[in-house]
Structure 1
């Protein structure tokens, strides 16, 4: 009798989410379709919860799990970060910051502190630049070096040593379920950034720090019923930010916002107000109460 073939040796990593075991590459269109489907199902799930429809909520949850759950969504996001897909949004950030960071590096041994919210990788352009000490967090950590944590539940800094020079929110805000929670997330980022006065003795940093790097799917601004760039700039100004840089592509919009003043909780309110009409518009919105 022929000896039985032994299966592959079991490893601890086998019990981790499948994103750690790299799947075969899928096409750009399939990646986009998977991400869009996740967003649609999450929206339907929120609506079912709001109506108290437990049967519909359970059915939608089955659909989400069939797509691979949050792990499947993150795998698709990682696929989208590949260089041949135009991925890694932090390359845009590094291009914007490189001139001032080079001057800073030549005159200071202190690296800047970055908080990367929704981190998927420890090997992006910011990580490899050597300019930052980076703390990475995500709701569902997919690897070493990324802390599993909800930014909205992260303890507020007690002093400047716990604050950051820059925060990255790359394709994070669009995954926050409710418009008011998106506004609250933007408002909360200010409390994690060092005061502008911190950079008065570093003129090469003053123009760009402390700052927030924000990346959104382009349709959130270009085809939203409730948000365009003019309204986003007004909302960010109310929160306490000034626009430093921006870039748009067919798929994404990129922004660098500098903390302009201390957030005192007296900003203007921004409700869910229509800025474009038409049946083909999406409902992405940011609300400040």
Structure 2
């Protein structure tokens, strides 16, 4: 009598219908990535201009162009390409370098993970996530996976008390995607409402030098080659919001800032109109406007 071969036991998952898997995006060149991101920014800017004019036909046409490019998801995939090691890598590594000593001292003193709000999160595997120092709330307009809440920062409910506020807010390559200069000002103003007040770190004095804080990352030309914004102008805006610059770094592609929230600022009295700072036909029109 022939001995029947024992079949391997199937897992429970094997009996379930297969999950729909999105195909992994193909890698594109640095030049193509930059062109795609710039095209998205240009179309969003044109869309906002058409909305202001009440030109519904133009709005519909621009939205069709954005959709033809792949919509917001294609922009996010291009941004993810930019986070690859060979494209400049994860911007939060710069933040971790700046905070390394303070975070180590804090962990020895209290061990409490610091609360971070990451706006425009594309991944749950960046340097901050893997450090073990942060309890991170991740939000994005178009969530790319589990662990990222689909939410518009400008519509996120305001905190009721300190238990709902954060030690640090991250805006990495987010502000530049806001198409309207006034909208960018509104976003920066809104960050102050989600941060703890200064002087809340009696259990870890080492944190008082850098927290509570805003981590801000922009494409370098937004600051280095704009008609309406330079480092001095941005610093004046942030100072008026109650922030103090504690660290900055400029590379060929990006500018990184760490701003500490020192006070409530003068949010209700801000007046920063769109004003030319640098002339020249090769300048871009990136601006942040208040009032």
Mean CA deviation greater in 143-152 or 39-48: 39-48
Find the counterpart in structure 2 of residue 13 from structure 1: 20
Alignment of 1:63-142 (within 5 A): 63-142=65-144
Q: What do you get for the CA RMSD once the two structures are aligned?
A: 1.5
How much does 1:264 deviate? 5.5
Distance in 2 between residues matched to 1:79 and 1:11, nearest whole Å: 28
Q: String of CA shifts for 1:222-262, please: whole Å, max 9, x gaps.
A: 11111000000000000110000000011100000000112
Q: Are residue 186 (structure 1) and residue 193 (structure 2) matched?
A: no
What is residue 234 of structure 2 aligned with on the other side? 232
In structure 1, distance between residues paired with 2:17 and 2:65: 30
- CA change 1:49–1:266 in 2 (3 A) is closer
Contact 1:35 1:73 in 2 (8 A): yes
Query: Which residue does the alignment assign to 2:149?
Result: 147
- The SS at the match of 2:64 is helix
Query: Where does residue 274 of structure 2 map in the other structure?
Result: 272
Distance change (3 Å), C-alpha of 1:88 and 1:266: same
Shift of 1:57: 2.0
Please say if residues 190 and 263 of structure 1, whose CA atoms lie closer than 8 Å, have aligned partners that are also in contact: no
Q: Are the equivalent residues in 2 in contact too, given 1:247–1:254 (CA < 8 A)?
A: yes
**What's 1:32 paired with?**
34
Kindly indicate whether the alpha-carbon contact (under 8 Å) linking 2:242 and 2:266 is maintained by their aligned counterparts in 1.
no
What's the CA shift string for 1:99-118, capped at 9, x where partnerless? 10011111212110000000
TM-score by length of 2: 0.91
How much does 1:202 deviate? 2.2
CA drift of 1:55 comes to 2.4
Q: Which runs of 5+ in 1 are unaligned?
A: 1-8
> How many equivalent pairs are there?
276
Q: Deviations over 1:64-119 (max 9, x none)?
A: 11111111110111111111111210000000000100111112121100000000
Structure 1 residue 60: deviation in Å? 1.7
Which structure is larger by alpha-carbon Rg, 1 or 2? 2
Name structure 2 gaps, 5 residues minimum: 1-15
1:254-282 CA-to-partner distances (Å, cap 9, x unmatched) read: 00000011246344311111101112211
2:55 to 45, 53, 56: 53
Q: Assess if the C-alpha contact under 8 Å between 1:216 and 1:254 holds in 2.
A: yes
